[in-house]
Amino acid sequence: MIERLIVLAEARYTRLVLVGLLFLSLQTTIFNEMRPFGVCLQVMLLLAASSGLAKGSQTGAIAGFIIGLLYDMVLTTPMGLCAAVFAVVGYLAGFVHTFVHESTWWSRMLAALGVSAIGMIMLPVAFTITGADGVLTTNVFLVAFIVALFNAALSLPAEWLCNWAIRDESAVR
């Protein structure tokens, strides 16, 4: 029984959920209060994008989905909406990075910047598709710009964290 629990705890997606919970608590507290230029910074999106950068498109998509689902739990928007968008962001982050021959720190930051901006534009579009009114305004571009800049700045430590969280089970043992 205990062994099973240990195996479960060692599973990479369990670690990701725990890291996701930590990031979610930061999102709903400190980053909810600190709003530069009136924009709420999105560390959950940063985590999704970093997962894709760290582990490729497929793992990025699954990790993005899990992180998005955690975020959906505290939002009033339809459940699964952020999961779908974050899965796309995770997938795109891994996919875009495959085109880079020799990745450097700035190419990773650039990729994080791009996919974060895309994610922040996709979110209000998805909200509108599911029936929300008044979210698709020009303010979306300002939000996307600020969030993308912040995520690019923090993409390297976040990627390191994702690398640790979603590393293979064999590497743990």
Partner 1 sequence: MAGYSFTRRRAILLLSLTSVLLITLDLRGSSLVNFTRSAFGVVFRPIESATRVVTRPVQNTWNGITKYNDVLEENRRLRDLVAYDEGATVAAIASVREAQELLALNGLPTLAGISSCTAQVVGQSPSNFAQTVELNRGSECGIKVGMPVLNAAGMIGKVTDVYSKRAVVMLITDPGYSLSVKVVNTPPTTTTTTVPGDPNASTTTTTTTTTTTTTTIPRTTTTTIKGFKPGATIAPSTTQPSSSGSSTPTGTVGPNQPGQNDNSPITVPPGVDLPLRETGALEGRGLSKNPIIRFIENQPRFGSVAVGSPIISAGGATSLAPPDIVVGTVSRVVKRTGTLGPILEVKLSANLNSLNFVRVLLYQPITERPATP
- How far is Cα 67 from Cα 48, in angstroms, rounded to an integer? 6
14 binds partner 1 (CB under 8 A): no
Please write down the HEC assignment for all residues of the chain: CHHHHHHHHHCHHHHHHHHHHHHHHHHHCHHHHCCHHHCCCCHHHHHHHHHHHHHHHHHHHHHHHHHHHHHHHHCCCCCCHHHHHHHHHHHHHHHHHCCCCCCCHHHHHHHHHHHHHHHHHHHHHHHHHCCCCCCCCCHHHHHHHHHHHHHHHHHHHHHHHHHHHCCCHHHHC
- At its nearest, how many Å lie between partner 1 and the CB of residue 21? 6
Residues 98, 105, 137, 141: which binds partner 1 (CB under 8 A)? 137
Residues 16, 17, 39, 115: which binds partner 1 (CB under 8 A)? 39
145 binds partner 1 (CB under 8 A): no
Q: Which stretch binds partner 1 (CB under 8 A): 8-16, 26-34, 100-108, 163-171?
A: 26-34
Which residues ranging from 52 to 81 are in contact with partner 1 (CB under 8 A)?
57-58, 61-62, 65, 69, 72-81
Residues 132, 149, 153, 156: which binds partner 1 (CB under 8 A)? 132
- At its nearest, how many Å lie between partner 1 and the CB of residue 128? 10
Residues that bind partner 1 (CB under 8 A): 21-22, 24-34, 39-40, 42, 57-58, 61-62, 65, 69, 72-81, 83-84, 87, 91, 120, 123-124, 127, 130-135, 137, 139, 143, 147
